[in-house]
């Protein structure tokens, strides 16, 4: 399995580096709205596929609903996303706080010295976001070097590799960090950057590189 992982990495390394550069540009050159668009995407992702969630975000943007739509308008537009009622509410709440309110995502994140503190801040301040989604968000805005998105694809592969004994039904913050460190150690052992390994294991399961 390790041989397969290394072979996949070689075959998609250029694509991974290109995606990571794109994500980095969002933080370096993107607007506050760009940062919020990525947050909306990650609010939608629990229990829903990445491409489905991005289609939902794109549809909201095309119809001028992401920044201006009512709860009902957003709820109706994101019917391809699971748990759309809750997620429409989470989106509205985040929008009120970070777009229409006094808080600014960029400055709030800038105030957190490390990526781990940034993640803690997101989990505490954005309803509907857990450690996995906060990690996903940070990766997508250029902070993915030292963290992992522990979704079902990653956890399944870690289980097959013997890195974890079983796939937990739920992951506490302490357990998340413990599993993340195991993946980081494994990444170092096979000489693949943690930010790359995340993509490689996801690609192994889905044949896709996306967000």
Q: Which of 200, 186, 189 is nearest to 16 (CA)?
A: 200
Catalytic sites, residue numbers: 132, 151
The rounded distance, in Å, linking the Cα atoms of 159 and 179 is 11
Going by pLDDT thresholds of 50, 70 and 90, the confidence category of residue 210 is: confident
- From-to residues of CATH 1.10.1670.10 in the chain: 2-25+148-206
Mean pLDDT of 97-122: 93
* Residues 53/36, Cβ–Cβ less than 8 Å: no
Q: Are 203 and 8 in contact (CB under 8 A)?
A: yes
Which phi and psi (to 5°) does residue 32 adopt?
-60, -35
Count each helix (H run) and each strand (E run) in the chain, helices first. Answer: 11, 0
Residues of the chain with CATH 1.10.340.30: 29-140
Alpha-carbon span 141 to 145, nearest angstrom: 11
Tell me the pLDDT tens digit for each residue of 14-59. 999 999 999 999 999 999 999 999 999 999 999 998 999 999 999 9
Closest CA to 157 of 196, 209, 197: 197
Indicate the CATH number for domain 2-25+148-206.
1.10.1670.10
Determine the pLDDT at residue 65. Answer: 98
Query: Class for domain 29-140, per CATH?
Result: mainly alpha
Contact call for residues 51 and 210 (beta carbons, < 8 A):
yes
Mapped onto helix, strand or coil, the DSSP state of residue 35 is: helix
The verdict on pTM exceeding 0.85 is yes
- Residue 139 pLDDT level (bands cut at 50, 70, 90): very high
- Alpha-carbon distance of 124 to 31, in angstroms, equals 23
pLDDT-above-90 percentage for the chain = 89
Question: What pLDDT is attached to residue 209?
Answer: 84
What is the CA angle 21-58-46, rounded to 5? 80
């Amino acid at each position: 399995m390790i041989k397969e992982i290394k072979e996949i990495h070689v075959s998609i390394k250029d694509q991974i580096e290109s995606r990571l550069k794109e994500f980095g540009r969002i933080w370096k050159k993107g607007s506050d709205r760009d940062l919020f668009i990525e947050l909306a995407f990650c609010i939608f992702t629990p229990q829903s596929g990445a491409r489905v969630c991005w289609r939902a975000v794109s549809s909201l943007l095309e119809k001028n609903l992401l920044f201006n739509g009512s709860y009902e308008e957003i709820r109706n537009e994101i019917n391809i996303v699971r748990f759309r009622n809750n997620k429409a509410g989470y989106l509205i709440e985040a929008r009120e706080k970070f777009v229409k309110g006094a808080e600014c995502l960029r400055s709030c994140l800038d105030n957190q010295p490390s990526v781990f503190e940034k993640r803690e801040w997101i989990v505490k301040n954005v309803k509907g976001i857990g450690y996995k989604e906060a990690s996903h968000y940070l990766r997508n805005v250029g902070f993915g070097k030292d963290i992992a998105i522990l979704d079902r694809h990653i956890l399944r592969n870690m289980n097959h590799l013997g890195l974890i004994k079983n796939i937990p039904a739920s992951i506490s913050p302490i357990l998340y960090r413990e599993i993340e460190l195991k993946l980081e150690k494994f990444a170092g052992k096979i000489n693949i950057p943690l930010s790359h390994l995340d993509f490689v294991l996801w690609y192994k399961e889905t044949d896709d590189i996306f967000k």
